[in-house]
Amino acid sequence: MTLPQSHSCSHPEAADSLPATTARQPESADPNTGLSAEVLSEQPPSNASLQQQLERERLISRIALQVFQSSDLSVILKAALDEIRQFLRADRVAIERCWREGETTTVADSVGPSWQPSPGKHRPDGYGDHWHNGQRSDTAVPNSKVPAAACLSLPILRNGQPWGTLLVYQGGEPRPWDAAEVQLLEQLTTQLAIAIHHSELHQEIQRLNDHLESEVQARTLQLQQAYEFEATLKRITDRVRDSLDVDLILQAAVRELAIVMKVRGCNASLYDLEEGTSTTCYEYTNSLSPYQGRISKFSAAQELYSQLLKGQYFQFCSLIPNPERGMVAMLACPILDDQGVIGDLWVIHHCDHAFGEQDIRLVQQVANQCAIALRQAHLYSEVQAEVRALERLNQLKDDFLSTVSHELRTPLSNIKMAIHMLRTAPTAERQQRYLQILEAECSRETELINDLLDLQRLENESYSVSPEPIQLQEWLPTILAPFLSRAQSRQQHLHVELPDDQPPLSSDRKSLERILAELLNNACKYTSPNGSIALHVKYNPQFDARQLHLKGDERPLSVPVTTFVISNQADIPATEVPRMFEKFYRIPKSDPWQQGGTGLGLALVKKLVETLQGTIHADSYNGWTILTVHFPMLPAIH
C-alpha cells in the first residue's frame, strides 16, 4: 500500500520522506549481520510496530463503539477527540463545521493543558480552502490565536460533500506526520462522518416525532373541540325543537356559545328593517361591559351592517380601542332565513385572537338555529293570533245571531201585534196609535239593517265620502237640538263649548253627523238622571300626524285637526273600556234607561272615524267616561 504524502512547515525538503518504520536504508551490508537493506526490509515487523497497530485498531474500535452506543453527537465527538489527542500526543484536536460563506464553526474541541479552546464562528487562516476540494492539508498556521508549529487537517465528507474538517495541532517543535498517523485519521474521519450521519438521522427522526406528536395533540384538541361544539349545537337544537319560548332559546344559545368557545362575550341582536336599527336583546359576558338593550343605527356602522344585511359574516380586530371594551377581536354572523336577515350574532374575544373555520362554522350553525327559533315563534304567534281571531269570529257569529235575532224578532213581534190591534181597534184614535207603533218598529228594523250594511261596506273599504267645508257654528246646533230636548226630559245636564273663532272643518257632512249623533245618543243612554253630559270642540293647528290614519305615501309631521270631546257621568269599569268598540258588545249593567241595543253603534263610529282618517279614544276615571275624536282637514271635492 502506498501511503499518502505529508508535509511539514519547518522541513519542506522532507516532503517525500517515508515514516521511520518503513524508510529505506542505504544499500550496504549491516556490519553486525552482514545482511543488505533489502533483506532487512523483508523482515517481519517489530513488536513496537505491532503494538502501535494494535493500539490504532483499539482506538478505531472504541470510537466506532461510541458511535453506535450513543446518539449525542457532542458526547461522541468530544470523546473521540480526547482519544485522538491522547493517542497522537497532540496539543489540540478540533472539528470545525465549514460553511459556504467561508466561515467555520468549532463543534468539538480537545486541548492540552497549555492550549485554550476557540469556540464559535471564525474565518480560518491558512487552511480555509481545504474543504472545497475535499483534500487533506498539512501546513503551519501563522496565527497568534493558534500558536501551532504544525497542523494536519483532513476533510470530513457527508454524502460525498465536504461537511467539516478534523484538525490536529502540534505546538513547540515542528512535527512531520507519518503515513500511519494520516491513515489512522482518515479512518477516524470515516467513523466521525458515520457518527454525524447517525446524529443527523436521529435529530431528523426526533424532529419528525416531535412534529407528529404536535400534530396528534393538535388533532386531538380539534376533535375534542369538535365534540364539544357538536354537543353544544345539539343542546341548542333540542331547545329549539322542544320549546317555543324564543327568549329562553336565544339567551341559552348565546350563553352556550360563549362558554364552549371560551370567549369574553357573546350577544344576539334583532333588526327593525323599517327603522334601520339593531337592538341587542340577548347577551352573555363575564368580563365586558353590558350592551343588552342598546339600539344601534345601521347608518352609524354602514359598512358593517351592509355586509350583514347581505347575509355575509366577517371578523375583524378594532384598530381604535373601544371606550368600554378596549381592543377586541370580533366575529359577526347574520341571523337569516329564507325571508331575509332578522338579526345577528356577535362573538367578542381578545384582540390577538383569530377565529378559525371550526369557530365560524359553529357560529353559523347556531345563527341558523336562532333563525329557526325566531321564525318558529313568529309562526306560532301568527297561528295563535289566527286562533284567537277565529274564536273571536265565532263569538261574533254567536253574538250576531243572538243580537240580530232578538233585535229583528222584537220589532216584528210589535209589528204583528200592532196589525192585529188595528183590525180590532174601536176608534180612530187607537188606530192612529197602532200606526205610530208600526212606523217606529219599521224604522228600528231599517236602522238595524242599515247599520249592518254600512258596517260591512266600511270593513270592505267600499264606503264613499265627499269632504266639504262645514261651518260648525251654524251646523252643530241643528245636530244638538234633539239631544238637548232629550236631556231636559231626563233631568240631564248637557253643556256645549264651541269657540266663536272655530275655523271650518273639511270633512264628510253625513258621516260626521252620524258619528256625533251616535256618540251623543250613547252619552244620554248611559247617563243617569241628574247626570251631566259635555261636548267640547277645539282646534289644534299642529297635531302629531302619526296618531292619525292619514292616507298616501308622503305624510307630514303635523296637521291641523278639530277635536270633539264627549264626556258623561257614567260609572263604566276601566276593564270594559277596551271592548267598547267591539261589534255586538254591550257593557253589562250600565244602561239605567233599559233601552237595549245591538252593540253596533260604537263599532260603526270607529270605522267611520278611521274612514275620515281620524282617531277615536275612550277613557274612564272618577265616574266619567270620555270619548275623544280627532278629525283632520280633508281636501274638499270640487
pLDDT digits (tens, 9 = 90+) for 345-371: 999 999 889 999 989 999 999 999 999
What's the average model confidence in pLDDT over 26-34? 42
What's the average model confidence in pLDDT over 142-148? 47
Helices and strands (H, E) in the chain, number of each type: 11, 21
Candidate from 134-138, 209-213, 333-337, 536-540 with smallest mean pLDDT: 134-138
Residue 530 vs residues 83, 494, 521: alpha-carbon distances, Å: 133, 10, 16
Same fold, 12-204 and 239-381: yes
Give the confidence band of 61 by pLDDT, cuts at 50, 70, 90.
Answer: confident
* Among 131, 335, 363, 369, residue whose Cα is nearest residue 236: 369
**Helix, strand or coil for residue 75?**
helix
Candidate from 31-40, 153-162, 226-235, 325-334 with smallest mean pLDDT: 31-40
pLDDT value at position 23? 36
CA atoms within 13 A on the CB side of 27: 0
Give the confidence band of 329 by pLDDT, cuts at 50, 70, 90.
Answer: very high
pLDDT value at position 330? 92
pLDDT value at position 277? 93
The CATH code of domain 239-381 reads: 3.30.450.40
What's the average model confidence in pLDDT over 313-334? 87
Which range of 8-12, 129-133, 473-477 scores highest in mean pLDDT? It is 473-477
Domains in the chain: boundaries: 12-204, 239-381, 464-632
Which of the pair, 404 or 521, is modelled with greater confidence? Answer: 521
Give the confidence band of 74 by pLDDT, cuts at 50, 70, 90.
Answer: confident
Which of the pair, 274 or 25, is modelled with greater confidence? Answer: 274
Give the confidence band of 27 by pLDDT, cuts at 50, 70, 90.
Answer: very low
What average pLDDT does the chain have? 79
pLDDT value at position 595? 54
| Confidence check: pLDDT of 306 > 80 | yes
464-632 maps to CATH 3.30.365.10: no
pLDDT digits (tens, 9 = 90+) for 438-488: 887 787 777 777 777 777 777 777 778 889 999 999 999 988 888 888 888
Contact by Cβ (8 Å): 629, 519: yes
Its sign, for the CA torsion 127, 128, 129, 131, is: positive
Paired with 270 in beta bridges are 279, 343
pLDDT digits (tens, 9 = 90+) for 574-592: 778 888 888 767 665 555 5
Which range of 39-43, 526-530, 552-556 scores highest in mean pLDDT? It is 526-530
The amino acid that residue 134 corresponds to is: G
12-204 maps to CATH 3.30.70.270: no
Contact by Cβ (8 Å): 128, 107: no
Name, in order, each residue with C-beta under 8 angstroms of 148's C-beta and a sequence gap of 6 or more.
91, 92, 140, 141, 169, 170, 171
Q: What is the DSSP letter of 3?
A: P
Which range of 34-43, 117-126, 236-245, 544-553 scores highest in mean pLDDT? It is 236-245
pLDDT digits (tens, 9 = 90+) for 242-281: 888 888 888 989 999 999 999 999 999 999 999 999 999 9
Give dist(CA 169, CA 176) in Å, integer. 12
The predicted model scores a pTM of 0.48
Give the confidence band of 119 by pLDDT, cuts at 50, 70, 90.
Answer: low
Q: How many CB atoms lie within 10 A of CB 558?
A: 12
What's the average model confidence in pLDDT over 151-180? 85
Name, in order, each residue with C-beta under 8 angstroms of 494's C-beta and a sequence gap of 6 or more.
480, 483, 484, 487, 524, 533, 534, 535
